[in-house]
Structure 1
Amino acid sequence: MALHNRVSAAELKKKLALETFKRVTVSFYQYAKIEDPQAFRDQLYASLFQLNVFGRIYVAHEGINAQISVPENNFDAFRDTLYAISFLHGIRLNVAVDDDGKSFFVLKIKVREKIVADGIDDPTFDMANRGQYVDAKHFNELTDDPDTVIVDMRNHYEFEVGHFEGAIEVPSDTFRDQLPMAVDMLKDQKDKNIIMYCTGGIRCEKASAYMLHNGFKNVFHLEGGIIEYTNKARQQGLPLKFKGKNFVFDDRLGERISEDIISQCHQCGAPCDTHTNCLNDGCHLLFIQCESCARQYEGCCSDACKEVNRLPEEERASLRKGVEKGLMFNKSRRRRK
């Protein structure tokens, strides 16, 4: 069998829309030593393809990072497939909080240098020396202490639409930039309890190890990230300390955690937390857009992109050549109109 998809995106999306069964969006990761990432990748692709699993998975010598969509009727077989792999046996599976089952439409498994791009090149850095896990109950207890520092290890556009009460933002577009920034921002608070969190746990776990590597003492990281925290807090009837929406890196672009809307439309300033990509294929800027501005700008980030998007496809294709796209709205950039 082919170990890569060969069907067009349009056809795959059409096929997904016609599915009559329910899908479950799941994420998981594991730091582990993988001797031959390519061979592991190929074997995993063959197994998951047979189970009709969609999603995005990164494999590296340091482990695996996955965000996927599994047919509900194949979920037990999927879990058994993972648990049959020694370093994934019993692994926690983070089930999405707010799921429409349409998060992915194709399976992509890629071999990367690292499962999280961190910029760390210090050979003495060791992921085995990482912070202490905290579950939802312990997290709430620790954060009731005013001397506890809560650190958000996600990107600025994730923090903007939702975060824990009192959390510190490390304002950056990339995790590799955040790590040294976090060390510098907290250098005078090394003796405090520091809790780091992220979406599913993978970034804050590495961040906790990096903080310990740089001389911090009482470092914790939220087990399973925001996703696991929300599920457990709801199951156990705990106060939910996360406000707003949890940004996710799939077609949903977010899952509702609380009804609070803490961000604004990037075009008109109205309360809004709906992320979208500019419909101009030569731009694809990720930004927040309310329904009114979506109508006014026809799903685009600016009048200029709206006009380009009205052009015939041949002209648009010509304009796209050599253009860098896939950017994100940044506080340092001016609002585009």
Structure 2
Amino acid sequence: MRAFAAHARAVPDYRLSDTAMSQVVIAALYQFRAVENPAVLQEELRAFCREQGILGTLIVAGEGINGTVSGSREGISRLHELLLAKGFTRMEYKESFADEHPFRKLKIKLKQEIVTLGVPVNPREHVGTYLSPQEWHDLIQQPDVLVIDTRNDYEVMTGTFKGAIDPKTRTFGEFPEYVAKELADAKDKKIAMFCTGGIRCEKSTSYLLQEGFREVYHLKGGILNYLKEIPDEQSLWEGECFVFDGRVGVEHGVNPGHTRMCFGCGHPLLEEDLHSPHFEDGVACAWCHDKTTDEQKARFRMRQRQHELARQRGDKPQA
């Protein structure tokens, strides 16, 4: 199986998205690259995004950048060009569109890792074999391949690939423990791993290679790339892909889905969850109703009311 070629530096032709000029542009991006002074980059990105009216979250660390943001066509294009100029020329970068901002705020975070595994790995030096969506589609149908979902348990709830293994991890930091307990005897097997946009698999494949696994593959660009490239009628994906923004879930074509989220705890909600006696929109659900105090619930109700009033007035989110 051939390795998938890395991006060459090129400023994209944004005219390809002219049909969506009136929509909000959502950009998901990351790159593992040494950053000499993350705090300086954090402040520069914060100022730039505020100026451009961009919302969402970017994480900056010494190992690179990661995040998903939304804004106008012009604002997102300028941010992309700024990052290219800063040396992030091999970003995994994907765009999708929505009728309104899926984020309420702007957050530029400074962290030790752009995605937290908790053990030292270096994806810049060695990672598994990248597979295009079509190559991935072909590989995971082979009977001798272990297909592993590296996402958190609540993400898997909304959808996953047919036949994929769910490690039932609550956080990505639990993945090394899962490997030690469940994959110790699988070092000679073909391992194929996937996540939402590809970043967690950069680290998880690097970790497996570090631990002595021999044949490790991952889906380049993650589930989002697969849903964009593989037609619905051919797809091996079942359900929706959970995303960490107001869309909650996306379907084929990376179009907004129908999954809802509890804004009290952030847990995705299935149809039966919406009919639970513990569900109160924006306040609590069956997963968290007994984990928050009456005082917290009162604050959540006030917050929900403020959001509803803002929507009725047509207020725009503030960066």
TM-score, length of structure 2 as denominator length: 0.76
Match of 2:154 among 153, 157, 169: 157
Checking the alignment, whether the CA contact within 8 Å between 1:136 and 1:232 is kept in structure 2 is yes
Please report the RMSD computed on the Cα atoms of aligned residues, expressed in angstroms. Answer: 3.1
Aligned amino acid, residue 163 of structure 1 = T
Checking the alignment, whether the CA contact within 8 Å between 1:183 and 1:211 is kept in structure 2 is no
Query: Which structure 2 residues correspond to residues 24-63 of structure 1 after superposition, within 5 A?
Result: 24-63=25-64
Count the aligned residue pairs: 271
* Structure 1 counterpart SS, 2:214: coil
Match of 1:148 in 2: 145
Aligned amino acid, residue 269 of structure 2 = I
Checking the alignment, whether the CA contact within 8 Å between 1:133 and 1:222 is kept in structure 2 is yes
Query: Which structure 2 residues correspond to residues 1-337 of structure 1 after superposition, within 5 A?
Result: 21-86=22-87, 88-96=88-96, 99-121=98-120, 125-127=121-123, 128-234=125-231, 239-257=234-252, 274-277=259-262, 284=265, 286-290=267-271, 293=275, 297-299=279-281, 300-301=284-285, 305=289, 316=298
Aligned amino acid, residue 105 of structure 1 = R
Q: Deviations over 1:106-141 (max 9, x none)?
A: 2210101111111115xxx43211111111111012
Aligned amino acid, residue 276 of structure 1 = M
Aligned amino acid, residue 137 of structure 2 = N
Offset at residue 73 of structure 1 (A): 3.6
Aligned amino acid, residue 146 of structure 1 = P
TM-score, length of structure 1 as denominator length: 0.72
Offset at residue 172 of structure 1 (A): 1.3
* Structure 2 counterpart SS, 1:79: helix
Aligned amino acid, residue 251 of structure 2 = R
Offset at residue 95 of structure 1 (A): 2.1
Aligned amino acid, residue 126 of structure 1 = N
Q: Deviations over 1:131-181 (max 9, x none)?
A: 111111110121121101111000011111100111111111011112231
CA distance, structure 2, for counterparts of residue 107 and residue 285 of structure 1: 18
1:107/1:119 CA distance change after superposition, 3 Å = same
CA distance, structure 1, for counterparts of residue 167 and residue 278 of structure 2: 33
Checking the alignment, whether the CA contact within 8 Å between 1:131 and 1:212 is kept in structure 2 is yes
1:180/1:287 CA distance change after superposition, 3 Å = same
CA distance, structure 2, for counterparts of residue 151 and residue 314 of structure 1: 37
Q: Give 1 or 2 for the bigger CA radius of gyration.
A: 1
Offset at residue 91 of structure 1 (A): 2.4
1:305/1:298 CA distance change after superposition, 3 Å = same
Offset at residue 229 of structure 1 (A): 1.5
Offset at residue 27 of structure 1 (A): 0.6
Aligned amino acid, residue 143 of structure 2 = P
Checking the alignment, whether the CA contact within 8 Å between 2:149 and 2:164 is kept in structure 1 is yes
* Structure 2 counterpart SS, 1:171: coil
Deviates more, 1:126-135 or 1:68-77: 68-77
CA distance, structure 1, for counterparts of residue 138 and residue 233 of structure 2: 10
* Structure 1 counterpart SS, 2:34: coil
* Structure 1 counterpart SS, 2:230: helix
Match of 2:311 in 1: none
* Structure 1 counterpart SS, 2:107: strand
Checking the alignment, whether the CA contact within 8 Å between 1:130 and 1:208 is kept in structure 2 is yes
1:315/1:119 CA distance change after superposition, 3 Å = closer
Aligned amino acid, residue 102 of structure 1 = H
Higher relative contact order (CA 8 A, sep 6+): 2
Deviates more, 1:151-160 or 1:176-185: 176-185
1:53/1:146 CA distance change after superposition, 3 Å = same
Checking the alignment, whether the CA contact within 8 Å between 2:31 and 2:92 is kept in structure 1 is no
Gaps of 5+ in 1: 1-19, 259-271, 318-337
